[in-house]
Structure 1
Amino acid sequence: MGAQSDKRRGPAWVKVLLAVSLGLNLAVAGVVAGFVLRGGPQDARRANMGYATPYVLALPRELRREVFGKVRRDGTVPDRSARRANYSAMINALSATPFDANAVQIVLDRQSDGASRAQAAGQTAWLEVVTGFDDAERANYVTRMKEEMSRKGPRRKGGSADK
């Protein structure tokens, strides 16, 4: 009986093919999950930056990093763990029975306050950078800002702000 069950098994190459297929499926699932968890494509994030988008994107890459670094180091801006805690608090508040609109409002107020502090820190850091420009640098910057504001499609790597 053991000999008959051995004959029913498929060739070894089928097992290898199935393993490779499973690996590729898992890789695709991982890419999709990473894409979703990251919040979509980078160009979609650009639209979420708000009013400061052309101001920041018109800066050369090293100055953008400087501005974002100053914001991250600002002690008044909520860090990633604080933002995650607020999202968890919102999920808990929305899941509560009976529903408590005041609990939801408290989380919204905390998130709004954090966003305001991040915006204020960003504006301060940006103004420090722009204040350091001479007249020619500021004129170049204005030109890049106008380009960013008129751009309709996705930003191409190596664009004017990266020069």
Structure 2
Amino acid sequence: MNDTPKQVRWLKVGLYLSLAVNLAIAGLFAGMVLRDGPPHRGGRGPGHEGFLYLRAFTDDQRQDLRRAFREEMGHDEKDRGERRQAFRERFLDGYEQAATTLRQDPFERDALAQVLNTQAMRSREGRARGQQVLLDYLADMSPEARADYADRLLREIEDISKR
């Protein structure tokens, strides 16, 4: 395929943007759970709808859920800084690999696809672990606590549907 330099440039920009959006969405859940959790009553703009499950928890419940997630990942507080650094390096490494691949001439589509697939796989693995922690946490709640949570979840849904 004989693309013009302008077409190749826009393709690269599009790939970067797509990659950035996908990784940002995947990383938000893990990052929020590991740090401070999502805002309980703030940040209700577009793009925050995916966090309804987390927003419906009370502050104490979110703290418990973060603790459960850390335990699932085998983390303790003393190695927190090292984990963050390793996560950043692994996260940025994927982007650096993408940038290197994008600069290759001729462009190697399959090589970039492999980089994107690796990043997507990491994202799916993290999301699956987070879902398991969420399911375990909800299963351990009393029926009354789950009903209260369900009521808060429905209020979150209603708030969004009114916008």
TM over 0.5: yes
Which of 126, 133, 154 is matched with 1:146 structurally? 154
Letter in 2 for 1:116: R
Q: Deviations over 1:93-135 (max 9, x none)?
A: 1222221111111111111111111111111111121112111
Structure 1 residue 146: deviation in Å? 0.7
Structure 1 residue 81: deviation in Å? 2.0
Which ranges in structure 1 are unaligned for 5 or more consecutive residues?
Answer: 1-37, 154-163
1:86/1:107 contact within 8 Å kept: yes
Which of 108, 112, 123 is matched with 1:100 structurally? 108
Does the alignment pair 1:85 with 2:93?
yes
**1:149–1:68: structure 2 CA closer, same or farther, 3 Å change rule?**
same
Q: Secondary structure in 2 aligned to 1:152?
A: helix
Structure 1 residue 145: deviation in Å? 0.6
The CA distance in 2 between the partners of 1:125 and 1:94, in whole Å, is 37
Choose 1 or 2 for highest CA Rg.
Answer: 1
Which ranges in structure 2 are unaligned for 5 or more consecutive residues?
Answer: 1-23, 25-38, 75-85
1:62 aligns to what?
A: 60
The CA distance in 2 between the partners of 1:128 and 1:83, in whole Å, is 27
**1:152–1:101: structure 2 CA closer, same or farther, 3 Å change rule?**
same
**1:45–1:79: structure 2 CA closer, same or farther, 3 Å change rule?**
farther
1:47 aligns to what?
A: 47
Root mean square deviation, CA, Å:
3.0
Which of 134, 137, 146 is matched with 2:142 structurally? 134
Letter in 1 for 2:157: M
Q: Secondary structure in 1 aligned to 2:160?
A: coil
1:120 aligns to what?
A: 128
The TM-score with structure 2 as length reference comes to 0.56
Number of aligned pairs?
109
